[in-house]
C-alpha cells in the first residue's frame, strides 16, 4: 500500500452561524473581518506547506473541506481555496475526490452551481434530522423543508455524489421518530449515509443542560430499536454498511475517510486541524487569532507534535481499521510494521475471538455482527 500516493488533504473552516448544542469541534461565530482574514491566512499556509519536503513527496487523492460550516464562506472564497490547493500542492491528476461539507440554510441554488463549477464533486450535507422540533433542540439553524430544498438544489446543480449526515438517540426521540427521519432520507436515494448515535461531549451546551436535568436521552431499549430500524432499512435497499456508522452504494464510499480509518497519511490545514505524516501527528493551534498571527509571521502553526513508536502506530492502525467492516489485512500490517496481530495480542485476541466479538479468517481481522454494537469496548482492549 503506497500511503504517500493516496494521501488526504483536509481544510478546517472554523465558523458556524450558531454553535450547535452537541458540537465539541473547534468552531465559532465569525466576528467582523474574521472570514476575510482566515481565507487570506489559509492561502498563505497553503504556500508555506507546499515548501515542506514531506509534503512535496505526497500525492493527494482526496480533498475534504470541513468544519465548522464551510458553506458559511462565500462560494467564491471556497473556489479560490480549491484553485490554490490544486495550484500549489500535489493533487492527484486522475479524478481526486473533492468533498465539501454544507449545511442547509447556508448555501443557495446558485451557490451550489458555483461550487460544482469550482471542482467540488461530492457534498456532505449536515441534515441530522427531518423533524423541526428535533432540529431546534440540537441548535440547528435550518428546517426540514430547507434540508429537502438543499438536496433538490444540489441534484439540480449536477451533484450525483451526495452524503447525508443523520443523528439518532436525540433527547426525547422515539424509535418511531427516528424511523420517520430515516424513511425521508432514504426516499431521496442517497449514495452515502452517515448515521451517528448522539454523544454528549463534555463542555457542550447539551452536556450543561443534561447536568441541569433539562432533557433525557432515550433508554438502551429504544436505542436498540433505532439500530434495528437502520439494519432493516439498509437490508431492504442498495446501500452497504462499510464502516460502523457509514453506508454507501458500491464504489461510493468516502475515500477520504477510508484513508483515515486505514491510518494513512493526511495533511490538515486551518486552526485545530490535525496532520498524520509518516507516523508523526501534528495538531494546529485551535485559536483563530493565533493561527492567523503565526501564518502571517511565516511560523509553524502546530501546537503539538507527537511521533508514535512502531508498536503504538501498529495498535492505532488495528483499532482504526476495525471501524471498517472489512477490518484490517494481516499481510498489510506485517509489511507496514513487521507485527502480526495474533502474535502481538496473544491471549487478548484469542479471548475476543472466542467470545464471538472478532473474526480472524482469510487473512483479515474484523468485527463480527455481535461485536459491532460493542465496538468501542472491544477496541479498548486492543489500544
- Domain regions of the chain by residue span: 3-261, 310-380
pLDDT at 206: 82
The low-confidence residues of the chain, meaning pLDDT below 50, are: none
The CA–CA distances, whole Å, from 211 to 61, 216, 248, 373 equal 44, 10, 37, 27
Q: 3-state class of 219 per DSSP?
A: coil
Q: 3-state class of 174 per DSSP?
A: coil
Q: Which fold has domain 310-380?
A: Arc Repressor Mutant, subunit A (1.10.10)
Q: 3-state class of 233 per DSSP?
A: helix
Picking from 194, 234, 99, 195, the residue whose alpha carbon sits closest to that of residue 154 is: 99
pLDDT at 187: 96
pLDDT at 1: 60
DSSP β-ladder status, 358-361 and 364-367:
antiparallel
Q: What residues form DSSP beta bridges with 22?
A: none
pLDDT at 345: 97
Rounded to whole angstroms, the Cα distance separating 355 from 74 reads: 53
pLDDT at 37: 97
User: Same CATH fold, 310-380 and 3-261?
Assistant: no
Using omega within 30 degrees of 0 as the cis cutoff, is the peptide bond preceding 211 cis?
Answer: no
Question: Could you say which of 1.10.630.10, 3.20.20.70, 3.30.1130.10, 3.40.50.300 is the CATH number of the domain covering 3-261?
Answer: 3.20.20.70
Amino acid at each position: 500500500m503506497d500511503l504517500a500516493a493516496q494521501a488526504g488533504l483536509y481544510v478546517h473552516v472554523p465558523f458556524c452561524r450558531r454553535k450547535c448544542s452537541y458540537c465539541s469541534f473547534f468552531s465559532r461565530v465569525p466576528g467582523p473581518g474574521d472570514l476575510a482574514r482566515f481565507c487570506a491566512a489559509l492561502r498563505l499556509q497553503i504556500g508555506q506547506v507546499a515548501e515542506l519536503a514531506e509534503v512535496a513527496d505526497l500525492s493527494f487523492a482526496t480533498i475534504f473541506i470541513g468544519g465548522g460550516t464551510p458553506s458559511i464562506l462565500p462560494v467564491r472564497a471556497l473556489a479560490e481555496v480549491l484553485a490554490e490547493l490544486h495550484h500549489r500542492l500535489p493533487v492527484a491528476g486522475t479524478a481526486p475526490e473533492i468533498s465539501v461539507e454544507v449545511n442547509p440554510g447556508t448555501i443557495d441554488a446558485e451557490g451550489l452551481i458555483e461550487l460544482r463549477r469550482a471542482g467540488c464533486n461530492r457534498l456532505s450535507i449536515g441534515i441530522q434530522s427531518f423533524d423541526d422540533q428535533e432540529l431546534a433542540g440540537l441548535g440547528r439553524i435550518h428546517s426540514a423543508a430547507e434540508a429537502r430544498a438543499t438536496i433538490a438544489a444540489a441534484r439540480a446543480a449536477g451533484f450525483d455524489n451526495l452524503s447525508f449526515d443523520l443523528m439518532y438517540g436525540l433527547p426525547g426521540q422515539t424509535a418511531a421518530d427516528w424511523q420517520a427521519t430515516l424513511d425521508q432520507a432514504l426516499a431521496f436515494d442517497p449514495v452515502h449515509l452517515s448515521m451517528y448515535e448522539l454523544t454528549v461531549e463534555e463542555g457542550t451546551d447539551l452536556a450543561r443542560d443534561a447536568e441541569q436535568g433539562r432533557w433525557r436521552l432515550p433508554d438502551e431499549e429504544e436505542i436498540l430499536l433505532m439500530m434495528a430500524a437502520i439494519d432493516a432499512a439498509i437490508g431492504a435497499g442498495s446501500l452497504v454498511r462499510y464502516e460502523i456508522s457509514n453506508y454507501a452504494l458500491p464504489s461510493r464510499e468516502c475515500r477520504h475517510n477510508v484513508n483515515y480509518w486505514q491510518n494513512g497519511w493526511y495533511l490538515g490545514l486551518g486552526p485545530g486541524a490535525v496532520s498524520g505524516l509518516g507516523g508523526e501527528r501534528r495538531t494546529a493551534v485551535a485559536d483563530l487569532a493565533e493561527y492567523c498571527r503565526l501564518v502571517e509571521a511565516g511560523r509553524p502553526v502546530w501546537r503539538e507534535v507527537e511521533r508514535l513508536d512502531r508498536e503504538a502506530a501498529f495498535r492505532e492502525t488495528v483499532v482504526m481499521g476495525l471501524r471498517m467492516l472489512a477490518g484490517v489485512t494481516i499481510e498489510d500490517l506485517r509489511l507496514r510494521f513487521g507485527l502480526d496481530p495474533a502474535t502481538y495480542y496473544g491471549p487478548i485476541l484469542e479471548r475476543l475471538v472466542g467470545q464471538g466479538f472478532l473474526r480472524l479468517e482469510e487473512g483479515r481481522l474484523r468485527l463480527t455482527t455481535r461485536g459491532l454494537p460493542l465496538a468501542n469496548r472491544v477496541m479498548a482492549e486492543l489500544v
